[in-house]
Structure 1
């Protein structure tokens, strides 16, 4: 079993930090709710960055985000892996993504930090995967 972390875009961090700045302005104005906003945002950022990962077992790709298994994909059913910059909602913290196409019409967008090693590990298990990176 091998685990890959999600790549994280710098702009996503800035986007997630925006509510913290709102919390700071509330604190400056004397509102204690600002502390709650800051702590909640920091916890969310921490959990999402630490929990988004992709696990390759001997026969499955497991996609996890926020401690929930979003997808279990049989590696033997993966047809194609291709580069994408899709902005569709997905368990990926970067727009530098790959689309994993499996079964007949299913696909998932992910952003492993070590993309080439990730793809190589999948191809070792299923050499029939078509790669378009």
Structure 2
């Protein structure tokens, strides 16, 4: 079993700047809520970034985001892997993505940190995968 972590884009944290700023301001104003909010924001950031991963286990690709198993894909069903910068919602923390096309019409967008190593591992299991990255 091999585990690949998601690449994380720094700008994904931009929507959190205002809540972090407000939390810090509340702390300086002596409000207990500021501490709780800041701890909550940090927890969410760490939780999401540490739990989004892609697992290659024998003949399956398991895509996990937070505590949810998003997909359990048979590696032999993967037809093609392409580079993508799609903004579609996906278990990926970066726009530097791969789209994995499997079965007849299914696809999933992911963003492994080491894309080439990840793809090489899939090709070891299924050498018929067409790669365009």
Question: Which category describes the TM-score, using the shorter chain as reference length?
Answer: over 0.9
d(CA) in 1 for partners of 2:81, 2:108: 10
Tell me the residue number matched to 1:112: 112
Answer yes or no: is 1:33 the counterpart of 2:25. Answer: no
Structure 1, residues 97-127: CA drift from partner, whole Å, max 9, x if none?
A: 0000111111110000010000000011001
SS at match of 1:86: coil
Tell me the residue number matched to 1:82: 82
TM-score, normalising length: structure 1: 0.94
SS at match of 1:34: helix
Structure 1, residues 48-102: CA drift from partner, whole Å, max 9, x if none?
A: 1111100001110000011221110000100110000001111111000000011
Tell me the residue number matched to 2:103: 103
Tell me the residue number matched to 2:125: 125
SS at match of 1:79: strand
The farther-off stretch of 13-22 and 37-46 is 13-22
d(CA) in 1 for partners of 2:18, 2:81: 34
SS at match of 2:39: helix
Shift of 1:17: 4.2
d(CA) in 1 for partners of 2:18, 2:103: 39
